[in-house]
Amino acid sequence: MSLKYESTVREPLINGTKDFHQVTEDIVRPIEGKPGKLWYLGLYISVALLLFGVFSVTWEVYYGIGVWGVNKTVDWAWAITNFVWWVGIGHAGTLISAILLLFRQGWRTGVNRAAEAMTIFAVMCAGQFPIWHVGRVWDVFFIFPYPNTRGPLWPNFNSPLLWDVFAVSTYFTVSVLFWYAGLLPDMATIRDRAKTKLRKFLYGVAAMGWTGSVKNWQRTEALFIVLAALATPLVLSVHSVVSMDFATSVIPGWHTTIFPPYFVAGAIFSGFAMVQTLLIVTRKILHLEEYITLGHIEAMNKVIMLTGGIVAVAYCSEFFVAWYSGDFGEGGAFWWRVNGPYWWAWWCLITCNVICPQMFWFKKLRRNIAFTFFMSIIINIGMWFERFVIIVLSLYHDWLPSSWSYFSPKWPDIGFYVGTFGLFFTCYFLFAKYFPVIAIHEIKHVLKTSGESYKATMGAIEKESTEEFAEGVAHAAAH
Amino acid sequence: MPVKNFVVGCFTEEPAVFKAVKKVRGSGYKLHDIYSPYPVHGLDEAMGLRQTSLHTAGFFYGLFGVIAALGGMAFITVHSWPLNFDGKPHFPLPSFIPITFEFTVLVSSVGMTLTFCWLNQLMPYVRKHLFHPRQTDDLIVMVIERTGKTTDEELKKWFADMGAIEISAQRAETGWWYGSYAKPAPYETAIGSEQAVTS
């Protein structure tokens, strides 16, 4: 049974006076209207960046990995940094849709759709890096275990790199399923109010014959709760496995048991920052301020604070262990992290990820949109540097001082990274125009308990005695 | 699939629907279905529908995933091409756990979603009759089949008593068919559209 009412102490999730039809109107309006000039401009810039990325990658495939800045000592650099960064960003969406669903967090309804879309696009971007990093990309299918005529030659199931293939591809598939299952009812909503033939046809195909019958909904809810239960450990497993790419090696700075929880916390930290970046712009341009409220933004800032705190503790414990273990290599790696030629990268990471987020202890700043937007970008810069520090700064001063080296990106490194931004934003712009960016049916589901105008009438219920209230609930259940 | 006669009542408030469902179950009318723009909790129970077994299916897909992943890796590393890494076992269970877990989740999720689509007859280009265009917007639409034992007028009056805000009699396909939503339904063209929807 749904709640009869929600305490007035809790902030409303939907502001303004709305009925169901108004909710549909507000969310579907951008899809039915003509996009503004800004949308076209943004899309064109994104496509241009994407094309530059395609050019850079083509260049790399033609001439080989040597066109990147990697060398014999620093053999993993930008591509792996960017891979881990994008996968990390891809953690917020399914966390919001799965973990917050299991924890019955009502505020997820306003942000889950866009966050899940962002997750899917981020994982798509992430996937590019390991694929093109293999060098001979035409042989990339060798990673799949299938009976073949090369022996048969199987991949190594003991290797975290192969675990990663399974983790990331499973994560992508499950995220897409979760996202699309939630989209079906909303696609049907758009289909049934469509005026043009083309829109009727396209959204008709996309809605796959959804009617909204009782059985449809019953099965959807069953599917969601089980998918959420499956996706919850999945979210935690993906970045754990990514961290094992490093942690199972014997490189000082990588060989650490705290990596899995540390990476997962960092992933959620950066993922929520990216959700903030996108949603603050989206709510403004699509006029969705009443659905993505200050309360939503504050809730996400609290998650950012928590995970930022975990990450800060992890940084401290790394240094503590480097000293306390008495391990020469480990100590050296951390000494060069702070005092080597890349000292500024380490300070960048500490400033962006540890010092700046402390501002969020002030409620005023947590609820300040401009500040949140600024911070979300700072955090994503910080999280990029975190991965860069872990990867390049653990490699560049290795065991033999004679092989110490330095890494500077070349243009194809930068072009590839910029290209994934192009891919990400091209997808996001298309999503924001052709898909409902807020889950319409989920908003309708919580509207009458958490809508501002409905909450206003709940003071009367709160004044009821316990007996009266219990009787009312029993009465509602009896119907 | 058969084309049948229905009387359709539209409601705006959940309590009215629950009341109508309770009434209709005792009245002998044949309740076809109820459509809503969002999940109305408890309505399935009120209608006497059984709980879905989708979770159970998910469990068995998962079980298949575990067996397939462990069995597959065991076949490969023990039988097909055993490799000796420092005399370590050919079947190192701990390092097979991540892939087993991921594969279990994958098989279970994909299997459940496909089963979900199968049970609900959801597929691109599948089309079903829409009793009211606002059933995915803001109305809860209750549909009663008009059998030989009753008449349109009786059912319409019944809906009016229940507080339905919009009532209509319709002749509609009960199942699904392949077709575009941009075109009229085939049975509508066959019997004439004015006969198909009469209110």
Percent of chain A with pLDDT over 70: 97
Of B37, B112, B181, the CB nearest to A204: B181
Arithmetic mean of pLDDT over chain B: 89
Check whether A96 has a pLDDT greater than 70: yes
Of A163, A222, A233, the CB nearest to B52: A222
Closest CA to A298 of A372, A370, A354, A353: A372
Q: Give the DSSP per-residue string, A387-401.
A: HHHHHHHHHSS-S-G
Percent of chain B with pLDDT over 90: 69
Check whether A58 has a pLDDT greater than 60: yes
B76-126 per-position pLDDT tens digit: 999 998 988 888 899 999 999 999 999 999 999 999 999 999 999 999 999
Check whether A238 has a pLDDT greater than 90: yes
A435-463 per-position pLDDT tens digit: 999 999 999 998 888 888 888 877 777 77
Check whether A479 has a pLDDT greater than 70: no
A154-177 per-position pLDDT tens digit: 999 999 999 999 999 999 999 999
**Inter-chain contact B124–A206, Cβ cutoff 8 Å?**
yes
Mean local confidence (pLDDT), A258-263: 93
Residues of B in Cβ contact (< 8 Å) with A163: 98-99, 102
Determine which of B120, B128, B183 to mutate to test the interface with A (most A C-beta atoms within 10 Å): B120
Residues of B in Cβ contact (< 8 Å) with A446: none
Tell me what pLDDT residue A473 has: 67
Question: How far A272 CA lies from chain B's nearest CA (Å)?
Answer: 24
Chain A, 185 to 224: residues with Cβ < 8 Å from chain B are: 185, 188-189, 191-194, 197-198, 200-201, 203-206, 208-223
Angle (deg, nearest 10), helices A78-89 and A411-434: 20
Tell me what pLDDT residue B193 has: 45
Of A185, A208, A233, the CB nearest to B123: A208
> Does residue A145 sit in helix, strand or coil?
coil
Mean local confidence (pLDDT), B16-32: 91
Pick among 1.20.1630.10, 2.60.40.420, 1.50.10.10, 3.40.50.10190: CATH of A28-438: 1.20.1630.10
What confidence tier does B198 reach under pLDDT thresholds 50, 70, 90? very low
Mean local confidence (pLDDT), A398-407: 90
Domains and their CATH numbers in chain B? 3-51+123-198 (3.30.70), 54-120 (no CATH)
Residues of B in Cβ contact (< 8 Å) with A213: 33-35
Chain B, 92 to 121: residues with Cβ < 8 Å from chain A are: 92, 95-96, 98-99, 101-103, 105-106, 108-110, 112-113, 116-117, 119-121
Of A7-11, A35-39, A187-191, B159-163, give the lowest mean pLDDT range: A7-11
What is the number of other CB atoms lying within 10 angstroms of the CB of residue A71?
Answer: 16
Domain ranges of chain A: 28-438
Tell me what pLDDT residue A322 has: 92
**Inter-chain contact B137–A158, Cβ cutoff 8 Å?**
no
Mean local confidence (pLDDT), A108-137: 93
Mean local confidence (pLDDT), A20-31: 92
> Does residue B168 sit in helix, strand or coil?
strand
Are residues A433 and A35 in contact, defined by beta-carbon separation less than 8 angstroms? yes
Question: How far B117 CA lies from chain A's nearest CA (Å)?
Answer: 9
Mean local confidence (pLDDT), A34-48: 93
Of B49, B72, B108, the CB nearest to A214: B49
Mean local confidence (pLDDT), A171-193: 94
Extended beta strands in A68-222, E state: none
User: Which of the pair, B64 or B27, is modelled with greater confidence?
Assistant: B64
Across the A/B interface, how many CB contacts are shorter than 8 Å?
A: 212
Mean local confidence (pLDDT), A121-127: 96
What confidence tier does A99 reach under pLDDT thresholds 50, 70, 90? confident
Q: Give the DSSP per-residue string, A253-317.
A: TT--TTHHHHHHHHHHHHHHHHHHHHHHHHHHHTT-TTTS-HHHHHHHHHHHHHHHHHHHHHHHH
Check whether A78 has a pLDDT greater than 90: yes
Determine which of A208, A221, A245, A475 to mutate to test the interface with B (most B C-beta atoms within 10 Å): A208
B163-191 per-position pLDDT tens digit: 999 999 988 888 899 989 988 887 766 55
Determine which of A19, A101, A170, A234 to mutate to test the interface with B (most B C-beta atoms within 10 Å): A170
Closest CA to A407 of A352, A331, A349, A341: A341
Mean local confidence (pLDDT), A247-263: 92
Tell me the whole-structure pTM to 2 decimals: 0.93
Determine which of B11, B55, B106, B183 to mutate to test the interface with A (most A C-beta atoms within 10 Å): B106
Residues 6+ apart with CB under 8 A from A334: A253, A318, A319, A322, A323
What confidence tier does A341 reach under pLDDT thresholds 50, 70, 90? very high
**What is the rounded distance in angstroms from the CA atom of residue A218 to the CA atom of residue A39?**
38
Tell me what pLDDT residue A94 has: 85
**What is the rounded distance in angstroms from the CA atom of residue B84 to the CA atom of residue A83?**
32
CA A25 to chain CA mean position, Å: 28
Tell me what pLDDT residue A129 has: 95
Interchain contact A331–B (C-beta under 8 A): no
Of B105, B117, B180, the CB nearest to A234: B105
Using CA coordinates, name the residue in chain B closest to A244: B98
Question: How far B63 CA lies from chain A's nearest CA (Å)?
Answer: 13
**Inter-chain contact A223–B54, Cβ cutoff 8 Å?**
yes
Of B36, B98, B112, the CB nearest to A217: B36
Interchain contact A21–B (C-beta under 8 A): yes
| DSSP structural state of residue A134 | T
Question: How far A43 CA lies from chain B's nearest CA (Å)?
Answer: 28
**Inter-chain contact B81–A152, Cβ cutoff 8 Å?**
yes
Arithmetic mean of pLDDT over chain A: 91
Determine which of B103, B105, B121 to mutate to test the interface with A (most A C-beta atoms within 10 Å): B105
